[in-house]
Amino acid sequence: MKITIIQVGKTKTAYLKSAETEYLKRLLPYAKIEVITIKPCSSDDSGAAARQIAKKKEAEQIIKLVPRDAFVIALDEQGRQFTSLEFAEVIRKKRDFEGGNIAFITGGSYGLDQEALNISQLKLSFGKFTYPHEIIRTLLLEQVYRAFTIIAGKVYHY
**Secondary structure class of 112 (helix, strand, coil):** coil
In this structure, are residues 111 and 55 in contact, taking their beta carbons and an 8 Å threshold? yes
138, amino acid identity: T
**DSSP assignment of 84-126:** HHHHHHHHHHHHHHS-SEEEEEE-BTTB--HHHHHT-SEEE--
Q: What is the Cα–Cα distance from 143 to 5, expressed in whole angstroms?
A: 13
Number of H helices, E strands in the chain: 5, 5
**Would you say residue 113 has pLDDT above 90?**
yes
Which CATH architecture describes the domain 2-157? 3-Layer(aba) Sandwich (3.40)
Longest dimension (CA), the chain: 50
Strands (E), the chain: 2-8, 32-38, 71-80, 101-106, 122-124
**Would you say residue 109 has pLDDT above 90?**
no
Question: Which pLDDT value is given to residue 48?
Answer: 82
**61-77 pLDDT, tens digit each:** 999 999 999 999 999 99
**Secondary structure class of 21 (helix, strand, coil):** helix
Would you say the pTM of this structure is higher than 0.85?
yes
